[in-house]
Chain A
């Protein structure tokens, strides 16, 4: 409506100008030498009619104006509606530089200062100054905020307050007098989301790379997509991961199997025996294929392949984990349990068997008493084994902290033990030599137990009235001050193979006397010494005797500190 009135006003102005022109011409002709009033009048009327027609034509849009886009009323209404409802900031400026159409977002983006620009990027290499615009507001906007402009269509602006704007600019025709279209996209939200996604994917990659398990992903055709550091290191000899050649995981698996078969031939074991276990777990479209196998260098490896239906772009993930230690512990545990059960069954067999005989057969009073003595002794043995077993597991489960440390002179410690064990040692000659007394930080009760075990072995495996020699002296080991205790007996000694098994639970040097000893004494002693950060060694010669050498640090914590330093 406004536009119509403006044009009507313009029309009136045109007519006023025509009339002034006509009157001027009429005055000119009145004084002209032609004196042909009729012709002059017709000429004037013709010019008047022509001007009137041209004005009307212009008013109704029949006449083509200078600017093709100068809107008529209908287009104008449609355009203003469109612009108003446009979801982003939009503006159309005329060739004269004035904004013809714009919405609120456009005003906001142009005039509201969003902060300092920290980065601008363009898609186009071709330099183009947005200052080419003749629009005053846009010019001031660019002058104020934007320092680098080299794009034709698109300019990306990062503000220091986190806002990201993409400005699209287009000339609507190729003519110099073209209208300009400006669109502002606020990409702040999109950028935030992208940033988070990018960070997440970076984090995932870093995690994948640094995970201690050897892992690799492969596509639907089995071609490796991504391998992590541990994976590349573990299999560096099988495949040159550095080169960009595509490697199939099936090819890889085959090569791995070949290596394992080679290893089995080398170690002379059956390949099927090298496979410890193989199972598949299905879970909602995913298949886990778990294989535990014996690999070279005495390692046990668990290989897991996840074939996934849920991760559509992925064929699967393969991972390798060294479970040698876990396997070793499990094997040791089950061996220990089975040996313990075996050791318990032997005295039980006697108790059970003799009792059944007593119930079912008749014996003389003497025989009965004899049988009951055996039952009593076997029961005692059973209790001893149980106590030692509990001791051993308790000590094994115990952390350093739960030892009750106190300071005692090494002389007092050994003298106390010798005094306590006097009845056991009564039939032997004990020689105790101490080269300089020293204070020791230790759990007295535990060390006492350890020394009793060593002494009782010395008594058990040597002749009555033979000598047991104890030599104690200071000894610095690996720069740690400590004390060394040597217990030497002059008994039957041990062979090399017996010596190698001496610290194994339940191992006993066979002496035909099965009623004494549980075979747990030395393992318990070793545990106690090691809890003190000390060391225990055995040396022995068959027929000549055995020496147990124990070294203890004066401050049990000092070794740990040294390692840390």
Chain B
């Protein structure tokens, strides 16, 4: 059984075949994960039966991956990435909580809470609503640039999605807190309404700091994938 090594054009055909199975497999990070294993299998199939065409060998090699095809490998990679980011998110959260950032955030939260308190006791209800809106706008402005930059980058989309899933629990917590803030602000006594706003400012500020660090990691990972991809394509 003679060894058979696929050339560059044949590897491109293999990439095309993988891509044709599902759009998920076209993600560069997943393609890099799949291609070598698939190529090894195709080479072994061709070496066993030299009369087979590349298309036939690809079909046979694909069938040998089992009923789920490439999906098990792709899913495994995605889950690994999500778990990696979840771990990183928790580590960052602990790190930020033990840093000077906490003192700064507490000061800002206290200031915002106090401003809200004085606005409410002065009967300036219009301004208190503006203050709450401002908190939400600042948070959205902190998140949006990353969404624009990474969500549309083909090398980052998988990592970005994984990072969003990894941080989803915290994000849901924040949204719920905002709802409590909006609803509670109108119902609760002045002191508690202001304290609630302070807590939300602290929580969302902390989340924003961690989120930004996480997105830096996403950018770093996607940059690495882009470089590897270019290296493999050249």
Verify that A and B bind, or say they do not: no
Interface set of B (CB-CB < 8 Å, partner A): none
Interfacial residues, chain A to chain B (CB-CB below 8 A): none
